[in-house]
Structures are given as structure tokens and as C-alpha cells.
Amino acid sequence: MIRGMQRTELVRGVAAVLLALVAIVASPPAASADTAPSAAPLKVKPIVYRERRLANGLQVITVETHTSPTVSVQVWYHVGSRDDPAGRSGFAHLFEHMMFKSTLHLRAEQFDRLTEDVGGANNASTGDDVTEYHEVVPSNYLETLLWAEAERMMNLKVDEENFKSERAVVEEEYRQRVLASPYGRFFNGIAPASYLEHPYKRPGIGSIEDLEAATLDDVVAFHSRHYRPDNATLIVAGDFEQKQLDAWIDKYFGVVPKPSAPLPRFDAKEPPWQSDRTARITGPQVPLPAVAITWLAPPTTSDDAPALQVASAVLAAGESSRLNQSLVYRQRIATQAGFNADLRTGPGLLIAYAIGAGGKSPGDLAAALLAEVTRLASTPPSAAELAKVKTQLVTAAFVSRQTPLGLGSAIGEAAVLEGSAARVNTDLDDLQRVSGADVQRVLRRYVLGARKVTIEYRQQEGAK
Amino acid sequence: MNAPAIPRAGLARLAFAALLAVLAAAAQAQPYTTPPPPAPPRPLAISAPSEGKLGNGLRVIVAHREGVPLVSVELVALAGAEVDPPRLAGLASLGAALMTQGTKRHSAPELAAAAEALGGSLDSGAGWNSASISITVTTPKLDAALALVAEVAREPVFAPDEIERVRTQTLDQLKVAYASPGTLAALVAERLAYGAGPYGHPASGTPESLPRITRDDLVAVHRRTFRPDNAVLILAGDIGADAALALARRHFGSWPVPAERAAPPPRAAAATSGPSVAIVDMANSGQAGVVVAVGLPERTGSERAIGAVLNSVLGSGYSSRINQEIRIKRGLSYGASSVVDARREAAFFRVAVQTKNESAAEVVRLVQEEIDRMMAEPVGAEELAARKATLIGGFSRSVETTAGLAVAIRSLVVANRPPAELKTRIEQLEAVTAEDIRRYAAAQLGPARRRIAVAGEANAFAAALKAALPNAVTVGRDALDLERSDGLGRR
């Protein structure tokens, strides 16, 4: 499922890293094969990082490692699709694309000259709560990239022609993701159908109408409102020398002025859901019907977050997960089935979904999804099942932290989305401590004891 | 959990410093107006993998990398969808998918549970020239992971119930593929480029071919494909060559060589008797999928490097020419790109773009113009250096992970190249000249060899496309018949 849009699909972005992490976690019922492991899982070494804050409010986190002669520079702005201005759904994401256009001292696309042309890469992604920009470059280009990120933080200067052509690109991105993909309308429709009032209700990709309404003035206003040092986290991970790096950061980011206007506060609320609701969506090319069921989730900072992550892994991660074994393998009523704890800084969603098979209706799929979630809430997972989830989590952490980009992204998620860089190390311990009773408790609280929204997706009549 | 990371005392000090910084900033905003130059480069060294062989002929290739306690395993058999018989498209792919769905000792759910308990997932699949089983685990789980890989390779049972289940799932996935304009255009372009040749049929099968495949077909293709003298075991990560060879012996040493001889792979030939331009009409499609493709003939080692650099200039990477023209300058697509998709000694070159239906003909024209330019003019020195840097940087990053390293070795092995090329690849790419590229493009990418497929809402672009390419044929999505090698409409 799409959690964030990226500047380009050519390079793996943070959204993809997040998805990969979720997807790799798995947990089947008892391991009966004689190949079952006897060796205990390895401990992931804590990431050793340094954290400081510049006088202008910029949070700086650095991780020195010399496994390859490359370095990743990342700037995570604490602004996301939730901050789209009124009547401008999709704007935070459109804006992200504009950050690759001209600044006072950089030509349009010069970021690509400073990265791609020297053997590096760049990308960016916009999520509900955050917009992150990242580069990976040969480490001798580190100083250049620090200068360039500081430059676009303070001196963005997009012209009308660049704005219009890039807006057209984003409209094509909308068509590709939402209109041309058989399940695009379905996944794009989940948040709008679920939330009653919270700005998370608006799809991050926006609509053609709202994108067309956006202006260059909106770009200028959005940059000055949200793109400021005290609303950003700079992360540098990889091959550098700490003292030299600190001096460069002071030199290039230290001069970025802190605006006198107060930092914009975001504090939207979602009212409690008072009743179960059903929404129906159709599309012109829907080969198999689908269904999603959503419940409100606690924020990323909740003490219940680790148990919800383990619950979603038991249900949905891997071929041997419960939903796959039940709906896809045994009952054969779905081609795929999933459960995602889509936690955010505000109220997130727990999402169970299935795409049908064998002519089953969305109602049949919904009943089967609910039956599996209820079964886990009423009977605890086995010790072997929990052990599996935890082994998968440890392995996934090793896999994602092999590269400077992966290391930096792990830090960014912890620092910006979970509120503290230290979480990058404590999260794994917290997950290891989750018990079967914890899994049951959170499912009872947030799923069985809560209101839900059912989203049904079908072929539009007479369209095919 | 949520405590601020900076202590209170530190904050007070910072607040005072902040005041000074604001004053300083007002006085000297943007003091640095040009990018600082790079420091001296720190080159990347990629080691050559080591190689051994078991008594039964199984090659064992090891890329030892310390630092992270992970190992990626690939067992590769050197035959794939290229050997699918004419009416059985999808046979190799279905067979590879079924290997993990039950062995003599374990059911499909037991195998998935066992692999996932090791922290990885047991994946199997077929390409055009290979079929493989792969898994990535932490080092303490490697022994158990290899036992699973060996069991799946040597003892799959192809139970009738599992065959039916995976067949039905594959047919459902085809319904989704046929509703996606980009996917459909790519399938059609491949058929146009290769006709009845070994790469012309859809490797994932067709709605007609999949129901024809029997259990006997699956057992036979597995027996021919997965044999130690036709397979290569690749281990990449935190494992030394001697330890790897000992593990390989333990799990694969008793794998017998069948009495019958291994069949040689078929030779690829682009058989292009059908139309060269096809429009697939998809009512209400949200975009058009555009593919311009050429089946490239067998290549030498240096032609591989030339093709890779050519592709980097033309269509691979954000700043390639095609993305510059289509996305950056004109806003016609979210991304326009090309690939050179290796087929043992040969390759399939294709440009793929999704655009709004109204722009499809313009996109086809722009892609053709850029290919023409590659044939007509040598690439400028500055652009060539930049695109080589992109390509070499991307390759270097791809082998930073154990799984990426294993895949890079697999690609060499499947292409009949020595694994040591991993070490010399960067030099080979550096050696490519602008004239090499122009000459190769002129020889291989001429208009007569191009095949073009556009899938989408035809009434928005068919007239414009036919004005430029009068030989275009149109077929309705529901009348499309990818079983046919010479054309696209049902008889």
C-alpha cells in the first residue's frame, strides 16, 4: 500500500524501505519442519549516533560508518500532506517536487548534477506527517551536498514555467497511481472514506482540480511557513570524519536564518467514531472485487505501538501469516490479504484488506478478514509464532541497515515520526518484549471494542 | 519514550546562541554562492568472488563480505521460460513457483513457516534463462536455510491440488495485468519483437496456455532444469569460501546427476514477421502505456558495456535524455525510462512510458527522436562522463547489500560471463567511447528494428499515431490473443 509519494520511482525511497520492512516480517503457526532453527537470534548492535541542535533550531543527527566510500545526506521536514492548505489537497507533495527546481544559487535540476552526475542518487518522498529529501553520494562530495541542502532550505526560487511543467508531472503521477492502476482508486479511497474530519482524510496525491488551482504564490508561502531550520532534522550517515562534518554543518546550516514568526502548530483532531460505516467505490477496470476495513489507531508514540506492529505481522507478514494462510491458501477466496498498522504522529489507521478470488463478494472477504482478526484477539499466538515474528524483525533490521541510506532512514523515522532518535535502538527491544497477551489486549481495544469503516471496491456498471 | 533528546541545561545555552545566530544571519545571509568543490575521490574496490565445484558438477560461487552477519543464498538453474513449449507459455514460471509449495517431507505451509522462522522468506521464480530459489538470513541460520533450499530444489512433489491453486492465482494475476496499460503494452511489445522465437510468448503464461499445463509437464521441466550439472549455488555475505564449500557439500553433495544429458539452451532469434506497431484499445483506461522495443542480438563483452552506457545516456536514470525530454521539459509523464534486459548472450531493449491518453502519439515521436539522435550524433564528453558516473555509482550501490551482491553474480552467471567480471565491470564501463555508442546504436536500433505497442483509450491517440505510423494495427483489449505469434487479434 502507498504510504507516501516519491519524486521518482527510479530510486528506492523511504516509503519503499518502510514497506519492505513491514513486508518482510512474518509469522506462521508452529514450525514443524525438521529444519527449524536451534540457534538463538543475533542481537542487532545499537546504532551509535550523535545528536545536537544548532542555534537556529535545526536538529542534527550523524552516524559515522566506513563500510563503503559513500555518504547519505537527508533532510526531514516536519511537514506533510496533513499540512496541505485548504482547497489545495496534494500541495505538500507538489511542493516537494519544486524543491528540485531553481534556488538563488542553483539552476533547476542542478541537484541532479551534484548527485547523479558524480555517481550519486537523490530522491524525496511526502508522507502524511513528514517530507524527506535524501542523497547518497561518493563521500568526497559531502561538503557540496551540505551546501546544496542548506541553499534550498533558505533560498528556493522557482519560476512560473518550471512550476507549471512540474505540476503537469504530478498530474501524470496522479493518473499513473490512481487512474491507470486497477486498484489505485481503492487504495487512494481508504483514508477519505475512513476519517470524519482530520486532514489525514485528504489523499496526499490530491486531485487534478486542486493541483490545477495551486499557484506559484502558494509555493512561496508554503516554503516560508514550513521550510525553516527549526522545523527540520538533518541526518548524515556514512563515510565522514566527525570533526570535519560538524564544521561544515556549522558553516552551511548555521547561517540559515530562523524566521521570527512562530513555528506553525498542527493539532487537528479526529472525533470518536460513533457508528460503523460502509463506503462503496467503483472503477472502470476492476478485475476482482476488493474490500478494506479500517479502525482508528493510536499515535506512533503510544506504548501500544509495538504490540500493534507484532499483531499486524502475525496477521499479515509473509506467506505463512494467518491472513494469507486462511484467505489465500486454505479458503482460496482472495488473491492477496493484508493487515497494516499505519501509525502516524496523529490518529492513524489499522487497515485489513483483501483482493478477491473465485467470484467472492466484498462482503464475503470482509467476513473472512474479521474472523481471523477476532480469532487472534480471542486466542493468543503460540510461542513459536511470536518467536518467528521477532526473528524476522531482527533480520529485517540487519538487512535495512546495511547501507548509509538505510541507516539514515531508520534514524529519521525514529527522530521525526516517533519523536526521539533513541527509539531507533529501543524499538527493537520493545518489540522483543511484546507478549501474546499484549497482542490480544491491543486487538481487543482498538479493533473488537471499536467502530470500523468498511470500504467495498467493485467494477463500475457498464464501463468495461 | 517521548522525552526530548536535548537536556534542559543545554537548551538554555542554545537559546542564547540562537539569538547571536539570528543577528549573524541578518548581517550575512547566503554567504556561500557556489557549490564547494569535491575532495579527492575514495575509490570503491569490489573483490572478485571465489569459485569451487562439487563432484556432481554443482558450481559454488562465494562473495565473502564481513561486517554485517547476513548471507544471501541463490540457487540458480540455467534454463527458464525460453524452453516453454509453443502451447505451454508459463510452464517454467509455474514450475518454479510450485517448488516451494510442497516437498516429499513438508507441505507448502510447513515450508513457508520453516523459512520465515529463520528470518527470511523462501522465494522461487523463473526468468527467461534461469530459475532460482533464494533466501537471506543471519549467519546462525545459514545451515538451516541451505537445508530448505536443497529440499525444495531436489524434492518438490507438484501435488495436483497445489498445481490447481497456483494456476488459479496466476490466472487472477493475469486479469490484473491485462487491466494495467503499462504491463499490457510491455507484453505486446515483446511478442512483436520476438514473434515465434523463444522470447516471444508471455513468460507468465496466457489465459489459454495455463489451463493446458499438466503435472507431467511440470515434473519433466523440473527434472530437466534442476540438476547439479546445470545449477550454480551463490553465497554472498559473511561466510568464507572454505566454510561455504563445506556447507554446499553437506546439503548438495549427494544430489545425483541424471543419466540423460542436459539439453542445450535454444538460440535466441528475433523473428519479426508480424506487425511492427500495435494499438491495444482499453476503454476507460486512466493512461496510455507506451513501449518502444528492439530485440538485440548476441553481444560480446564489450558490447554489453556499450549497451549499458548507451542505455544510461538514453533512458536509464532521472537525467537520461528520454526523461529529460518527456518528464522534465514537457511534463508528459511521471517517469520515462529504458532498460537493456539481458537474455543470456542477447538482450531485449525497451523504452516504457505512461502518459495521459491524449499525449501517447507525442510520446512515441519523442522516444523515436531520441533513439534517432543516439544513432546520428556522438554523445558529448561532459554528458558521457556524467552518465557513466551515474551508471557506475548505481552499480556500486547495488552491491552494497548481500542480496544485491548475490543478484549481480547471478546475472553474470546466467549471461555465461565469469563472476570475476564483478571486479572489472567498472573499468569496462569506463572504456566505452562516444563513437562506440553511436556505432552500436546505428547498427542495432534503426527504425526498421523497432517494435511499438501503445495500450490505452485508443480514440484519444489512434488517429495521431496512425498519421505518423500508417502501418499500426489496432486490437481491442478483449480480442487480444498473446498466444498468436504473428498478430494480435483473435481469428
Interface of A with B in 57-86 (CB under 8 A): 57, 67-70
Measured between CB atoms, does A20 come within 8 Å of chain B? no
Q: What is the pLDDT of residues A176-210, one digit of tens each?
A: 999 999 999 999 999 999 999 999 999 999 999 99
Measured between CB atoms, does A288 come within 8 Å of chain B? yes
Does the distance separating the beta carbons of B112 and A319 come in below 8 Å?
yes
Q: How far apart are the first and last CA of chain B?
A: 67
Does the distance separating the beta carbons of A165 and B328 come in below 8 Å?
yes
More confident residue, B47 or B418: B418
Give which of A458, A3, A452, A462 is closest to A185, Cα–Cα: A458
Which amino acid would we find at residue B303?
E
Residue B467 has pLDDT above 60, yes or no: yes
Give the three cell numbers for residue A50: 550523535
Interface of A with B in 362-421 (CB under 8 A): 384, 387-388, 391-392, 394-396, 398-399, 401-403, 415, 419-421
Answer whether residue A409 is part of any domain.
yes
What CATH number is attached to the domain comprising A155? 3.30.830.10
- Residue A96 known to be catalytic: yes
Interface of A with B in 169-198 (CB under 8 A): 169-173, 175-176, 178-184
Does the distance separating the beta carbons of A391 and B118 come in below 8 Å?
yes
Phi-psi label, residue B57: left if phi above 0, alpha if psi -120 to 50, beta otherwise: left
Residues A188 and A291 in one domain: no
Nearest by CB to B394, which of A121, A140, A319? A121
Vertex A211: Cα angle to A158 and A150 (nearest 5) = 30
As a whole number of angstroms, the distance between CA B338 and CA B352 comes to 6
Range of A360's domain? 277-459
Q: What is the pLDDT of residues B322-346, one digit of tens each?
A: 999 999 999 999 999 999 999 988 9
Does the distance separating the beta carbons of B18 and A258 come in below 8 Å?
yes
Distance of CA A458 to the CA centre of its chain: 27
Which string of DSSP letters, residue by residue, matches A331-368? Answer: S--EEEEEEEEE--SS-EEEEEEEEE-TT--HHHHHHH
Within 8 A of B144 by CB-CB distance, chain A residues are: 35-37
Q: Which long-range contacts (CB under 8 A, 24 or more apart) does B242-248 make?
A: B244/B60, B244/B62, B245/B52, B245/B60, B245/B62, B247/B142, B247/B143, B247/B146, B248/B52, B248/B54, B248/B58, B248/B60, B248/B146
Q: Are A357 and B168 in contact (CB under 8 A)?
A: yes
Measured between CB atoms, does B443 come within 8 Å of chain A? no
Alpha-carbon gap: B220 to the closest alpha carbon of chain A (Å):
26
Answer whether residue A336 is part of any domain.
yes
Residues A236 and A321 in one domain: no
As a whole number of angstroms, the distance between CA B226 and CA A90 comes to 50
Do the domains B50-252 and B277-479 sit in the same CATH topology, yes or no?
Answer: yes
Does the distance separating the beta carbons of B138 and A41 come in below 8 Å?
yes
Bridge-based pairing state of the strands B123-126 and A453-459:
unpaired
Residues A246 and A282 in one domain: no
More confident residue, B1 or B388: B388
Answer whether residue A37 is part of any domain.
no
Q: Are A91 and A222 in contact (CB under 8 A)?
A: yes
Contacts of A371 (CB under 8 A, 6+ apart): A326
Residues A202 and A312 in one domain: no
Model pLDDT, residue B271:
57
Distance of CA B423 to the CA centre of its chain: 21
Average confidence (pLDDT) over B1-10: 30
Looking at A9, A51, A64, A96, which residue is catalytic? Answer: A96
Contacts of A148 (CB under 8 A, 6+ apart): A106, A110, A111, A114, B35
Within 8 A of A417 by CB-CB distance, chain B residues are: none
Nearest by CB to B136, which of A136, A303, A399? A399
Model pLDDT, residue B261:
82
Residues A210 and A329 in one domain: no
Rounded alpha-carbon distances, angstroms, from residue B267 to A263, B192, B220, B224, B399: 66, 18, 21, 17, 30
Alpha-carbon gap: B239 to the closest alpha carbon of chain A (Å):
16
Alpha-carbon gap: B352 to the closest alpha carbon of chain A (Å):
12
Give the three cell numbers for residue A385: 509464532
Least confident of A169-178, B272-281, B343-352, B473-482: B272-281
Domain boundaries, chain B: 50-252, 277-479
Q: Which residues of chain A have pLDDT under 70?
A: 1-4, 9-41, 463-464
Give which of A259, A365, A345, A348 is closest to A295, Cα–Cα: A348
> Backbone phi, then psi, for B9, in 5-degree steps?
-60, -45
Residues A190 and A150 in one domain: yes
Does the distance separating the beta carbons of B42 and A69 come in below 8 Å?
yes
Within 8 A of B357 by CB-CB distance, chain A residues are: none
Does the distance separating the beta carbons of A139 and B42 come in below 8 Å?
yes
Residues A173 and A115 in one domain: yes
Within 8 A of A319 by CB-CB distance, chain B residues are: 112, 116, 121
Measured between CB atoms, does A461 come within 8 Å of chain B? no
Interface of B with A in 221-280 (CB under 8 A): none
Alpha-carbon gap: B143 to the closest alpha carbon of chain A (Å):
9
Model pLDDT, residue B29:
55
Does the distance separating the beta carbons of A117 and B319 come in below 8 Å?
yes
The residue of chain B with its CA nearest to that of A5 is: B334
pTM, 2 dp: 0.92
Q: Which of A2, A35, A67, A427 to mutate to test the interface with B (most CBs of B within 10 A)?
A: A35
Within 8 A of A29 by CB-CB distance, chain B residues are: 109, 113
Does the distance separating the beta carbons of A184 and B1 come in below 8 Å?
no
Alpha-carbon gap: A276 to the closest alpha carbon of chain B (Å):
31
Give which of A208, A147, A218, A216 is closest to A174, Cα–Cα: A208
Within 8 A of A343 by CB-CB distance, chain B residues are: none
Residues A97 and A173 in one domain: yes
pLDDT tier for residue B193 given thresholds of 50, 70 and 90 = very high
Nearest by CB to B30, which of A154, A320, A401? A154
Rounded alpha-carbon distances, angstroms, from residue B2 to A48, A186, A232, A299, B15: 19, 35, 18, 12, 22
Is domain B50-252 given the CATH code 3.40.228.10 in the classification?
no
Coil, strand or helix at B358? helix
Nearest by CB to B319, which of A112, A285, A301? A112
Measured between CB atoms, does B439 come within 8 Å of chain A? no
Give the DSSP H/E element, type plus range, for residue B406.
helix B402-414
> Backbone phi, then psi, for B444, in 5-degree steps?
-110, -25
As a whole number of angstroms, the distance between CA B270 and CA B126 comes to 21
Measured between CB atoms, does B398 come within 8 Å of chain A? no
As a whole number of angstroms, the distance between CA B214 and CA A84 comes to 55
Which string of DSSP letters, residue by residue, matches B104-165? Answer: SS--HHHHHHHHHHTTS--EEEE-SS-EEEEEEEEGGGHHHHHHHHHHHHH-B---HHHHHH
Does the distance separating the beta carbons of A239 and B333 come in below 8 Å?
no
Q: Are B73 and B239 in contact (CB under 8 A)?
A: no
Contacts of A155 (CB under 8 A, 6+ apart): A103, A104, A105, B30
Give me the sheet containing B473-476, strands edge to edge: B336-343, B346-355, B288-296, B451-456, B277-281, B473-476
Model pLDDT, residue A315:
97
Average confidence (pLDDT) over B283-311: 96
Does the distance separating the beta carbons of B121 and A318 come in below 8 Å?
yes
Vertex B480: Cα angle to B478 and B483 (nearest 5) = 135
Does the distance separating the beta carbons of A168 and B331 come in below 8 Å?
yes
As a whole number of angstroms, the distance between CA B90 and CA B335 comes to 29
Does the distance separating the beta carbons of B389 and A41 come in below 8 Å?
no
User: Residue with C-alpha cell 508531472?
Assistant: A169
As a whole number of angstroms, the distance between CA A95 and CA A220 comes to 10
Nearest by CB to B42, which of A105, A136, A140? A140
- Residue A138's beta-bridge partner residues? A70
Q: Exposed e or buried b for every residue in B284-304, given b needs 16+ CB within 10 A?
A: ebbbbbbbbbbbbeebeeebb
Measured between CB atoms, does B330 come within 8 Å of chain A? yes
Within 8 A of B400 by CB-CB distance, chain A residues are: 67-68, 70, 402-403
Beta carbon pairs, A and B, within 8 Å = 339
As a whole number of angstroms, the distance between CA A334 and CA A317 comes to 16
Q: Exposed e or buried b for every residue in B39-52, given b needs 16+ CB within 10 A?
A: eeeeebebeebbbb
Measured between CB atoms, does A109 come within 8 Å of chain B? yes
Nearest by CB to A117, which of B69, B180, B389? B389
CATH class of B277-479: alpha beta
Cβ neighbour number for residue A383 with a 10 Å cutoff: 11
Does the distance separating the beta carbons of B397 and A143 come in below 8 Å?
no
Within 8 A of A251 by CB-CB distance, chain B residues are: 32
Answer whether residue A98 is part of any domain.
yes
Residue B424 has pLDDT above 80, yes or no: yes
As a whole number of angstroms, the distance between CA B357 and CA B369 comes to 20
Contacts of B481 (CB under 8 A, 6+ apart): B208, B488, B489, B490
Model pLDDT, residue B104:
97
Nearest by CB to A399, which of B19, B29, B70? B70
Does the distance separating the beta carbons of A155 and B332 come in below 8 Å?
no
Answer whether residue A264 is part of any domain.
no
Eight-class DSSP state of A89: T
Q: What is the pLDDT of residues B408-420, one digit of tens each?
A: 999 999 999 999 9
Answer whether residue A19 is part of any domain.
no
Number of domains in chain A: 2
Q: What is the pLDDT of residues B250-264, one digit of tens each?
A: 999 999 999 888 777
Which amino acid would we find at residue B108?
A
Q: Are A7 and A166 in contact (CB under 8 A)?
A: no
Residues A117 and A235 in one domain: yes
As a whole number of angstroms, the distance between CA A270 and CA A346 comes to 9
Q: Are B223 and B258 in contact (CB under 8 A)?
A: yes
Cβ neighbour number for residue A384 with a 10 Å cutoff: 16
Rounded alpha-carbon distances, angstroms, from residue B241 to A32, B53, B237, B333, B402: 31, 12, 11, 47, 15
